[in-house]
């Protein structure tokens, strides 16, 4: 469900049973819990226009293994992958603000893949999260 101009994603309905989702590039904002309980979702492509990954947006997405945060995102809010199946999150250098509880509520071990010397690398090391250096 989108705003009329497709700049905001309100919610992806869990009962739709989507296994993959490609967010239109016009989307610059999404609600907290936007993908909550989409248990069959396996692949997602986020909009390059996003600047914030909101709280609990992938809550209980148990089939989702990886999230690639688009370049241009600046902030990741609390619990964005809580109770999900996510094992790897690719975070670009553009992310300068990661909430201290962004990676809380995990049911699996997660790896942050990020460029060396990025805020995400420092965050991962400070919080004992596996880190993978990428270019």
Q: How far is CA 73 from the centre of its chain?
A: 10
Cβ-Cβ contacts under 8 Å for 128 (sequence gap 6 or more): none
Task: Give tens-digit pLDDT for 91-119.
Answer: 999 999 999 999 998 878 999 999 999 99
Task: Give tens-digit pLDDT for 13-63.
Answer: 999 999 999 999 999 999 999 999 999 999 999 999 999 999 999 999 999
pLDDT at 108: 83
What pTM value is reported for the model?
0.96
Pair type for strands 20-22 and 29-30: unpaired
């Amino acid at each position: 469900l989108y705003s009329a101009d497709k700049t905001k994603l309100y919610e992806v309905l869990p009962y739709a049973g989507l296994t993959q989702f490609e967010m239109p590039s016009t989307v610059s904002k999404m609600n907290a819990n936007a993908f909550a309980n989409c248990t069959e979702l396996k692949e997602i492509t986020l909009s390059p226009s996003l600047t914030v990954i909101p709280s609990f947006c992938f809550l209980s997405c148990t089939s989702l293994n990886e999230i690639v945060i688009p370049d241009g995102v600046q902030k990741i809010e609390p619990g964005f992958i809580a109770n999900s199946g996510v094992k790897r999150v690719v975070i670009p250098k553009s992310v300068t603000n990661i909430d201290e509880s962004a990676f809380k509520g995990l049911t699996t071990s997660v790896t942050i893949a990020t460029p060396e010397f990025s805020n995400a690398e420092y965050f991962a090391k400070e919080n004992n999260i596996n880190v993978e250096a990428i270019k």
